Amino acid sequence: GAGVSQSPRYKVAKRGQDVALRCDPISGHVSLFWYQQALGQGPEFLTYFQNEAQLDKSGLPSDRFFAERPEGSVSTLKIQRTQQEDSAVYLCASSLRRDINASGANVLTFGAGSRLTVL
Amino acid sequence: SQQGEEDPQALSIQEGENATMNCSYKTSINNLQWYRQNSGRGLVHLILIRSNEREKHSGRLRVTLDTSKKSSSLLITASRAADTASYFCATDSGDNDMRFGAGTRLTVKP
What's the pLDDT score for residue B99?
Answer: 86
Name the residue with higher pLDDT: B5 or B1: B5
Instruction: Tell me the residues of chain A between 57 and 76 that have a Cβ less than 8 Å away from chain B.
Output: 58-59
Q: What is the pLDDT of residues B2-41, one digit of tens each?
A: 566 788 999 999 999 999 999 999 988 989 999 999 998 8
User: Is B97 within 8 Å of chain A by CB?
Assistant: yes
Instruction: Tell me the residues of chain B between 37 and 76 that have a Cβ less than 8 Å away from chain A.
Output: 40-45, 48, 50
* Four-point Cα dihedral B76, B44, B32, B83, nearest 10: 10
Q: Nearest-CA residue of chain A relative to B95?
A: A100
| Cβ atoms of A6 and A32 closer than 8 Å | no
What's the pLDDT score for residue B4?
Answer: 67
Note whether B42 contacts A100, CB cutoff 8 Å.
no
What's the pLDDT score for residue B33?
Answer: 94
Q: What is the pLDDT of residues A19-70, one digit of tens each?
A: 999 999 999 899 999 999 999 899 999 999 999 999 999 999 999 999 999 9
Cis-peptide, bond into residue A61, ω within 30° of zero: no
Note whether A55 contacts B102, CB cutoff 8 Å.
no
Q: What is the pLDDT of residues B34-79, one digit of tens each?
A: 999 999 889 999 999 999 999 999 999 999 999 999 999 999 999 9
What's the pLDDT score for residue B92?
Answer: 87
Band of pLDDT at residue A1, cut at 50, 70 and 90: low
Chain A CB contacts of B103 under 8 Å are 41-42
CA distance B63 to A12: 40
Note whether B100 contacts A43, CB cutoff 8 Å.
yes
Note whether B96 contacts A45, CB cutoff 8 Å.
no
